[in-house]
Amino acid sequence: MNVLYSKNMDGMDVLKYKAIFTALLTMTTTLVQANWDYPKKGYRTINDIVQHYSPILEPRISLMFEQVGVQYPPEKVALFALKEEMQVELWAKDGEAWVYIKRYDIAKISGKSGPKLREGDHQVPEGIYQVIGLNPNSKYHLSMQLNYPNEFDLKYAQLEKRNRPGANIFIHGKAKSVGCLAMGDIAIEELFLLVERSQIQNVQVVISPSDPRKGPLVPAYGQPFWVTQLYRNIEKEAQKFGR
């Protein structure tokens, strides 16, 4: 090993710099090896993600719940997405009450006010949904799939003979959206771990065009007749989010 030194260095100086260099080399090797050992995208399992992020994120997540007096993981979780406000609120059920935990900013959203009607319209759906799957290998870092189209969506798609209402709607990372809620990587890591710990069957997602707590939801001009009923359903569901 070559070590740079000046004529003014004595033997102790050389030994000191050798020790520093060796420590840095060991640390770099360890970091590279840790990165190498982490499964590459396309081969990761949900358990890989949990094991990788849990030591980093779990203390912070559990503290959020502890600060509002809710057990972690909670028995029920709700994500209340507000398109106009570009926010997702995290709520948890504690006994009979729903408790506000945290607000996340939406990094990117596509489309405009109004429900999703057809494949390729780039609209973020509006309605009451469930998380039905976790994807550890998403091209948008991590993602959570919603059950769009749900029964309500399918009922009116069939009535209007819309044969391709669309599918594959996710909450995911990054900051690009073509009909999904893009939350950025840091937020989706936290949400992914929380949803896995809470179990997906216990996670509801309510997507609203705007905040119904500020006033009634009003369909935009030209939207289908049934959007009024959809908005009444969202308003009713949102009553439990009474900040």
> In the numeric block, which tokens belong to residue 43?
């081969």
Instruction: Respond yes or no: is residue 141 known to be catalytic.
Output: no
Catalytic site residue from 52, 122, 141, 180: 180
124 DSSP 8-state letter: P
What single string gives the DSSP state of each residue in 186-238?
A: HHHHHHHHHHHHH-GGGEEEEEESS-GGGS---PPTT--TTHHHHHHHHHHHH
Give the whole-angstrom CA distance, residue 231 versus residue 237: 10
Give the whole-angstrom CA distance, residue 144 versus residue 134: 5
Report the relative pairing of strands 143-146 and 127-135 from DSSP bridges. antiparallel
E strands, the chain, are 76-82, 87-94, 97-105, 127-135, 143-146, 170-172, 181-182, 203-208
What distance lies between CA 27 and its chain's CA centroid? 32
Instruction: Respond yes or no: is residue 52 known to be catalytic.
Output: no
In a 3-state reduction of DSSP, which class is residue 38? coil
**How many CB atoms neighbour CB 224 within 10 A?**
16
Catalytic site residue from 52, 122, 141, 172: 172
Residues with catalytic function = 172, 180
